[in-house]
Amino acid sequence: MVNSILPLELQEVVVSKRGRRIVGPVTYTLAGAGTTIVIGPNGSGKTTLLRMMHGLERTSEGRLSWAQAFKEASQRQSFVFQSPIIMRRSVLDNLAYPLTLAGKSRKEANEAAARWAAKVGLGSRLQQSASRLSGGEKQKLALARALIREPEVLFLDEPCANLDGKATRVIEGVLQDAKSNGTRLVMSTHDMGQARRLADDVIFMLGGQIHECAPVQDFFNSPATPETEQFLRGDIVE
């Protein structure tokens, strides 16, 4: 890709809410290719970290910078939320929405929408109102909608948290495809099996900090700290 928006550089970034520091200071560089999986106990700041990287959280200290200007960078990344945000429109119109925003013609947008619907198994539901889909179908729709602009970076916040195995398998397949097409994935999960299946490297969040960050083999086979070891054993870490 010409002029990649990566690397994303975080320098001593802090996110505070109501005067309380909930994430940071975090110093981290998101570069290269592949999939980074973010794990950690509940409340450790996984969601906030992803939202902050994507620009949904105001940073109160530190510096966050993409390799391209902010506007350019924001147009080439997308986000999949833990509970999918479904627009009050048909499946087709949900999918076409990001493309029409970007000024694509209705025809072009609809063709792409139909293609992506088929990829996530919603090909026969195009005209249906999206709010009537099941939870798994909604998340697949949200994923397809996030990928339809072929983003360079895709953030996902526990996208499979409430889904059954079948829906999870479809979503993981779509994610593997996106990765091999060059999309950089950053995804939080509390499913260690999923982390092992998808990760190239792992960020372990603890108490609002990046506690450890390592390639997937090293992380699971030779944890660097006692806390990581405890967490991987399934002990309660705080």
Ligand X SMILES: Nc1ncnc2c1ncn2[C@@H]1O[C@H](COP(=O)(O)OP(=O)(O)O)[C@@H](O)[C@H]1O
| Contacts to other proteins from residues 38-97, by CB under 8 A | 54-56, 71, 74-75, 78-79, 81, 85, 87-89, 97
Cα 190–chain centre separation: 13
CB of 80 to ligand X, least distance (A): 14
- On whether the CB atoms of residues 67 and 6 are closer than 8 A, the answer is yes
163's tokens = 């889904």
- Please return the burial class of 157, using the count of CB atoms within 10 Å of its CB with bins 0-12, 13-18 and 19+: buried
Comparison of 110 and 188: residue with beta carbon closer to ligand X: 188
Comparison of 11 and 90: residue with beta carbon closer to other proteins: 90
Number of residues that bind other proteins (CB under 8 A): 19
Give the residue, chosen from 27, 65, 105, 131, that forms a contact with other proteins under the rule CB under 8 A: 131
Contact partner at residue 45 from ligand X, other proteins, Mg ion, none, CB < 5 to 8 Å by partner kind: ligand X
Query: Which part of the chain contacts other proteins (CB under 8 A), choosing from 8-16, 128-136, 199-207, 215-223?
Result: 128-136
* Cα gap 223→161, rounded to integer Å: 25
Count each helix (H run) and each strand (E run) in the chain, helices first: 9, 9
- On whether the CB atoms of residues 181 and 116 are closer than 8 A, the answer is no
Residues 6+ apart with CB under 8 A from 155: 50, 53, 54, 77, 78, 79, 80, 186, 187
| Contacts to ligand X from residues 39-98, by CB under 6 A | 40, 42-48
CB of 155 to ligand X, least distance (A): 12
Place of tokens 């697949």: 140
Cα torsion 99, 34, 82, 9 to 10°: value is -90
Contact partner at residue 44 from Mg ion, ligand X, other proteins, none, CB < 5 to 8 Å by partner kind: ligand X
CB of 164 to ligand X, least distance (A): 22
Angle 227-233-235 from CA coordinates, rounded to 5° = 65
Comparison of 11 and 100: residue with beta carbon closer to other proteins: 100
Query: Which part of the chain contacts ligand X (CB under 6 A), choosing from 6-14, 15-23, 140-148, 212-220?
Result: 15-23
Binding site for other proteins (CB under 8 A): 54-56, 71, 74-75, 78-79, 81, 85, 87-89, 97-98, 101, 129, 131-132
- Binding residues vs ligand X (CB under 6 A): 17-18, 22, 40, 42-48
